[in-house]
Chains A and B, each alone.
Chain A
């Protein structure tokens, strides 16, 4: 095995910040090399240095690719050498066809400088074959699911004769089946001699697929672990990433259950645009004060749809069912009404549904509870600033000031702003949809601590998550959701990942099990 890439003593400074300091990375030909680190540790910066986004001369250090010193001035320079980076947010044009996307920016011109689409579609089909896709190359990208889109990105990379493929959080938005498929594809590509660098927060994936793992913390290389070694465990990676022992990944909590706060009965929701398609069928669940209840389901099971339809009917059509709050039936036809009934919903998609990224922390925190700051319709801006400072301190939002735009914060801190916003509405029930998606291990622990504080204060919390260990780690009780039906309810003591997965994959026509749904 020979070394394909060596990054020596890379140092990259931004005004006032040293993003990378003396980072060294060695990647062998034909290996899958994982890079781990907390958000803001410098992983993305390192990859931007490598791919030429930060051109040669704007950083210190040396890159040796394939035995020769590389001085990339732009992304096209690095792509010419066969280094292709696939970003977390996919760079596909939704209304262009698969083939058009694959060859975008890399079109082969035929006679008269025009594109021969028959030839292009034919070659696109061949590339898709290599990544295990059997789609018509002329369908628009928007008609494919996100899992398939990810594969199209890889096909696009293959069309560029990729030798070193860099994937930034490739499975963050994928469900388990699609993730598995993607990882399998990486193994196949490894067999074909393509080297791969994968950045991921999902440690079980890394354990499964990576040959070696480099850990970066605070802009410095901590160590490179050979994953075949005996002591290459997730705990060791976590220790390296956070620089301390996370004794437990989930903070301890003593459950003190109170009265039932929220009960949903026979909830039915239809798809907002597709007539006759029922998204939620006869869902019933409840949550008590001081309790953390989990809702486990695969992507597409209707988790978010269930939560949003309850939260002021912000999703769906023809909604039937009853909501009881503190034993009394309530109506929550709009979000404002739901907030008035002290129900809060923190979205899974912070950037698109949770925050106003071009406004500051202060205004985002007050967005849902603004009326409290404005008794006569006029906002008390001094009080608003004080509230923001309070939450900054109590939730440990890391920022130089609360008048910084939320878009400039890391994922974990953005999530804390979302939680602050909802805590300020003084909720009795908080529905948290994927509260730790896309945030690093250290920040996750903080979010769990915040959840514990909420229930200790007598609030009821519903956590929707696709990470089963997380649900098992923080919940008192877990419901499983499959194809819009609640298929099971387990006290956490009886729940295992295997049992939950079994219930989560129960098909629509299969009968509900009678055991496991006790209580």
Chain B
């Protein structure tokens, strides 16, 4: 097989995943062409800071969706955890970490609460979290007494607004940032190489060595370019580290752990899963607990970014997170979806919002366009599935 054919082969085989990746690249190229400052270091940094909490929510949401459920309450949970954190840090004057711990505890309790109703009472997640959406919004008003609380300042403020830089000096670009990105690229290359060696040891077919090397080089180039852009701006955002750790951890959990595989089994066919020894209740319970905790992480990041807590914080976040999952190829009926896909879906939404803001597109048009993108992305997915079914 020559190189071009193998590239084409790899693309068609992963059409579902690569289709959305190509769409993402196309959107980035489009905005870069329309607006000079879109790919500027400052704007890329902004992108990360502005949409990180949606991506964190989408990680939890894609797992809920794979399990065949939905969570409409995450926006309210973001608000409530931020509010509790603000009450602890700002009103009570306790240290920043107490606020973070209190917020995470709120997320945990919310998750246990919703998981209980879904898993052990058997109420569909849609209903439980619709109730939760009202419930936790109401509690937010109670905690905040209908007023905003600000500012956090200090270390808490730095969670979403801080940067790591200057530790190894700077020469117009931050060396530390580049070193971290370099380590990430090397780590990626090593893990890919080991996975390839593992497959060879099991006599599975692998892509040819030049093809493999090409893939690594392309990924490395894109990542290092991104790192360089950040390093010439303000350095490595703290929130990017949080996000990267979560993405890597949850990709492993969903693809490689028994728990993750059981989520797919439950979403794909809960009866078959049950009869294969999977406790559907436990899986549903923990998926919601996990969502609750991740929503509170997003709550911490968002309140830190806003430097305070507002009663109306996080409104409509649930819809952005859900849209990210579906644009990223998750199935509405459960059983299909990936963390990576949801991240690209979230980035598509982020890039479009950001790009349109830069170009001064009015808010009303932005909503219209985002709505259409969601619709077209899912339509493309369905068309693609039908095509694949015919071509088999």
Contacts and interface: CB of A to CB of B under 8 A. Distances in A.
B257 A15 contact: no
Interface in A216-241: none
Which of A336, A378, A386 gathers most chain B CB within 10 Å?
A378
A358 interface: yes
Given A359-B335, A374-B258, A382-B199, A354 B265 contact: no
B256 A355 contact: no
Given A14-B390, A408-B392, A379 B258 contact: yes
A367 to B, nearest CB: 4
Nearest to A314: B275
Contact of A335 (B252, B276, B336, B390): B276
A201 to B, nearest CB: 24
A378 B257 contact: yes
A334 interface: yes
Nearest to A400: B392
Contact of B204 (A311, A345, A385): A385
Interface of B: 198-199, 201-202, 204, 252, 256-259, 261-262, 264-265, 268-269, 271-279, 331, 335-336, 390-392
B274 to A, nearest CB: 7
Chain B interface, DSSP helix/strand/loop, else mixed: helix
Contacts of A345: 275
Contact of A386 (B202, B269, B277): B202
Interface in A16-43: 16
11 contacts: A15-B391, A16-B391, A345-B275, A356-B272, A368-B277, A377-B259, A378-B252, A378-B257, A379-B261, A382-B202, A385-B202
A370 to B, nearest CB: 5
Chain A interface, DSSP helix/strand/loop, else mixed: mixed
Q: Sorted from nearest, which 8 A-B pairs have the closest CB atoms?
A: A356-B268, A368-B276, A336-B277, A382-B202, A335-B277, A367-B276, A356-B269, A353-B271
A212 interface: no
A323 B303 CA distance: 57
Which of A311, A347, A368 gathers most chain B CB within 10 Å?
A368
A453 B231 CA distance: 65
Contacts of B390: 14-15
Contacts, number: 89
Contact of B265 (A16, A367, A378, A385): A367
Contacts of A353: 269, 271-272, 275
A467 B175 CA distance: 75
Given A335-B276, A368-B276, A377 B257 contact: yes
Which of B202, B272, B279, B391 gathers most chain A CB within 10 Å?
B272
A357 B202 contact: no
Contacts of A347: 275
Interface residues of A, number: 37
A328 interface: no
A421 B276 contact: yes
A339 interface: yes
A16 B389 CA distance: 12
Contacts of A14: 390
Contacts of A374: 257-258
A352 interface: yes
A356 B274 contact: no
A334 B390 CA distance: 41
A88 interface: no
Given A370-B261, A374-B258, A352 B277 contact: no
A419 B278 CA distance: 18
Contacts of B268: 356-359
Contacts of A386: 202
Contact of B258 (A335, A352, A377): A377
Nearest to B390: A15
Interface string A305-349: 000000110100000000000000000001110110000010100
Which of B202, B274, B275, B331 gathers most chain A CB within 10 Å?
B275
Nearest to A408: B392
A314 B279 CA distance: 11
